[in-house]
Amino acid sequence: MPATCHCGLPAAYADCCGRFHRGEAAAATAEQLMRSRFAAFSVRDSAYLMRTWHPASRPPGIDLERKTRWVRLEILETTGGSVVHTEGTVRFRAHYVHRGKPGEMEEHSRFVRHEGRWVYSGAL
């Protein structure tokens, strides 16, 4: 495991996103959920990705490409999504290496509270 979490925050994975992945805590904000989902892609935790996906938009399964390594996350913008909100958005850029070649993808994602927890609702 890296010295800092895959999500980019200056904490060890086990103390940062690892606690969400293990089910010991839930993300308090939409940005925190976005970061934990990026970290889940990095460690190939498909179960966490499915648990944090809104049931109305969740696919039946997720296949994480073994030849893709997620390496860095940039949060570009957030709206709402705090502890007092019920929805929010996060615009981000995710950097990856696929078959040895660097790449990036950008998305503006929507998050909502479902049964009291933040979940990913889809791209805007």
Structure confidence by residue, pLDDT tens digits, 63-99: 898 999 999 999 999 999 999 999 999 999 999 999 9
Q: How many folded domains does the chain comprise?
A: 1
Sign of CA dihedral 72, 75, 111, 23: positive
Cα-based angle 74, 98, 18 (whole degrees, multiple of 5) = 50
* Residue 7 covered by a domain: no
What percent of the chain lies above the pLDDT cut of 70?
98
* Residue 42 covered by a domain: yes
Domain limits for position 112: 17-123
Q: Considering the chain, what is the average pLDDT of its residues?
A: 96
CATH code of 87's domain: 3.10.450.50
Structure confidence by residue, pLDDT tens digits, 19-42: 999 999 999 999 999 999 999 999
